Structure 1
Amino acid sequence: MSSEERREQIIQAAIAVFGARGYEGTTTDDVARTAGVSQPYVVRLFGSKESLFLAAMQESLDELMRVFREALEEEGSDRPVSKRIGQAYVDLLTVRGLHQTLSHAWLLGGHPVIGPAARRGFAAVWRFFREEAGLDAEEARMFLAEGMLINVMIGMRLVDDYGSDPSITELFRTCFPTELPHILDVAPRGDEPW
């Protein structure tokens, strides 16, 4: 494996672990074990947990924007732009921890290094909705609000209560009227580490 491939492997592991445990709850050793490398190797590549988190956050943002832009370019689609972007967002659930890593980043606004980077990333997402996707301010706000709701549902592992709690069942059916079987299949469960 090349050093670039190994670096990417570590970043993917970091996204999964940071997504499940948060910034404070994750160590470079946790990420190293998940990636199948030594902790000194992780530190040698990234220097610190902070730099590793920034790399995981940026990779998550880059992937998010990549799939959003692909959804915009979908040839011959009669679906509205917001529906295509929404489907792309839901499809990203297959990348373990991506949504939650971004959620953790948004919550670290007071961190002197991560906070400014997270704010820049969040602003870039807003600009994408307004300038590239052509959503008006209200549509962009609604999209972000629904995305945050999905992040909370996934992060809380609410899928574990689907079918046994009528309120949670209703919430899932409301949020995922057409993608529900897929969501029930890919959403992380409470007993999964990430």
Structure 2
Amino acid sequence: MSTPRKRLPAAERRESILAAAAEVFGEYGYSAARTDAIAQLAGISQALVIRSFGSKEALFIATAERVVDHVAEAFHAAIAGADERERVESRLGAAYVRLAEDRGALVTLLHLFTLGHHPTIGPIARESFLRIYTILREEAGFSADRATTFLATGMLVSTIFGLRLQSQDHPLAAELLQATFRENTGLVSDLFGG
């Protein structure tokens, strides 16, 4: 006789679904991701995933919003924790790279930003991107040029993770990683066992 599963509180179950969804959406993108794969990874039924969120679209939006919230929280903490001797940009870069510990999060963010054409997801993607830009401009004190360069590097970081270039044994991949991550290259190696 099997032991009955312990029922998780709703908040824990929601977080479990969103963490699994970030991994699956990060791996397959919005279109190809399947709610049954998310349910399996979360260790619950597909019916419970749908009942919790209503649709795959709503689940993707909640997952993307969770990732953007994590980026914002990481950036707020990096800015607040910087003293006058530290470069805020370096702290923000390290905070962004550490978000890769949440499997699929940065690639889910990349998928979100490619859905600007989607009638429902597009406005959320634009608002989310501008939320991050606002933190860089208003809290970190970056100029518009510095903020756009930082965002471009962030998109490159997400692309590298999406392509899994950090796991490639190729001299140009290693060069690209070093040029992109600079002082955070060791952190990427630690995160991915390189």
Same fold (TM over 0.5): yes
Question: Which consecutive unaligned segments of at least 5 residues does structure 2 have?
Answer: 1-7
- 1:43 corresponds, among 41, 50, 60, to 50
- Match for residue 177 of structure 2 among 163, 169, 172: 172
The one-letter amino acid paired with 2:18 is I
Task: Quote the Cα distance in structure 2 between the aligned partners of 1:115 and 1:107.
Answer: 9
Q: Quick one: which amino acid aligns to residue 116 of structure 2?
A: G
CA-atom RMSD in angstroms: 1.5
Instruction: Extract structure 1 runs of 4+ deviating beyond 4 A.
Output: none
- Separation in 2 of the partners of 1:31 and 1:92? 20
More helix by share: 2
Output the CA distance in 2 between the equivalents of 1:178 and 1:7.
35
Instruction: Give the aligned partner of residue 3 of structure 2.
Output: none
> Superposed, which structure 2 residues align to 1:1-194 within 5 Å?
1-74=8-81, 76=83, 78-161=85-168, 164-187=169-192
The equivalent residue for 1:192 is none
- Give the CA deviation at 1:169: 1.2
- Report the residue type matching 1:59 in the other structure: R
Q: CA deviation at 1:133?
A: 1.1
CA contact (8 A) 1:109 1:119 kept: yes
- Counterpart amino acid of 2:176? L
Deviation of 1:178 (Å): 2.3
1:118-140 C-alpha deviation (Å, 9 max, x unpaired): 11101111111111111000000
1:124-157 per-residue CA deviation (whole Å, 9 max, x = no partner) reads 1111111111100000011001011111111000
Contact 1:157 1:188 in 2 (8 A): no
Aligned length: 187
Aligned partners of 1:14 and 1:56 also within 8 Å: yes
Amino acid at match of 2:70: E
Q: Equivalents in 2 of 1:106, 1:159: separation in Å?
A: 22
Shift in CA distance, 143/75, structure 1 to aligned 2, threshold 3 Å = closer
Q: Classify the secondary structure of the residue corresponding to 1:134.
A: coil
- Name the aligned partner's letter for residue 112 of structure 2: A
Displacement of 1:179 in angstroms is 2.5
The verdict on how the C-alpha distance between 1:136 and 1:6 changes in structure 2, with shifts beyond 3 A counting, is: same
Change (3 A) 1:18 1:34: same
Q: Is the contact between residue 154 and residue 187 of structure 1 (CA under 8 Å) also seen in structure 2?
A: no
2:172 and 2:55 map into 1 onto residues whose CA distance is 42
Q: Where in structure 1 are there 5+ consecutive unaligned residues?
A: 190-194
